[in-house]
Amino acid sequence: MSRSTLLAMRAFGLVVLLAAAEEAVAQIDCSAPILKVLSNNQEIPATGSVLTPQITLRVTSPDDCSEQVHYRFRNALMTLVRRGRPVIPSSIVNQSNVNLAQWMKYCQPGDRITLFISYHDIAIVKANGSLQPYAQPKPEDLKGQKFDIRTEQAKGISFTWPLLKP
C-alpha cells in the first residue's frame, strides 16, 4: 500500500471521527429539564460558592438548546448535608424564591445544600399558559445513555451546592 493511500485512509478516518464527535455533541436532550440555582440573578456554579441568604430556583432546559422550554415545579426538597449526613431536617420548598436566612447559622464551609425535584412535581408551561405534567423519561427514551432506576436521574432533577468559605 502506498504512502499516499495510507495518508488518504487516515484522513478519511479522521473525518469520520470528527463527524461522529460533532453529532454526539449535537445530541442534547432539550426536553429534559435541569435545575439552576441563582443568587442575585447570577447562576451558582456546581463547583460551589458562599452561602447567600436569598436564592432563586429555576427549572429550565439546557443552555445549549435553541428552543427553551419553560417549566414550573410544585415542591423541591432542600437538605443541608455535612460529611454525608443531614445537619437539620430537610425542608420542602414550594416557590422559586427561597430565604436561607435561618439556615445560615447551621452552615459551615465544606457543607453541601442538595436540592431535589421529583419528576412528578414538574410541569411544562405551554404557550397558552396552561400546565402539562412532565412525562418521566423511560429507559428506552434515553437512546443508549446509561440509566439506572436506583439513581436520582430516574426519579427527578437535582443540584448539589458545595458551600465555600466567605
Backbone φ and ψ for 4, nearest 5 degrees, come out as -65, -35
Q: Note the pTM of the prediction, 2 decimals.
A: 0.74
Q: Residues 33-66: pLDDT tens digits?
A: 999 999 999 999 999 999 999 999 999 998 888 8
Q: Residues 122-151: pLDDT tens digits?
A: 999 998 999 999 987 666 655 555 545 455
Q: Residues 62-71: pLDDT tens digits?
A: 888 888 889 9
CA proximity to 27, closest of 54, 65, 73:
65
What pLDDT sits at residue 72? 96
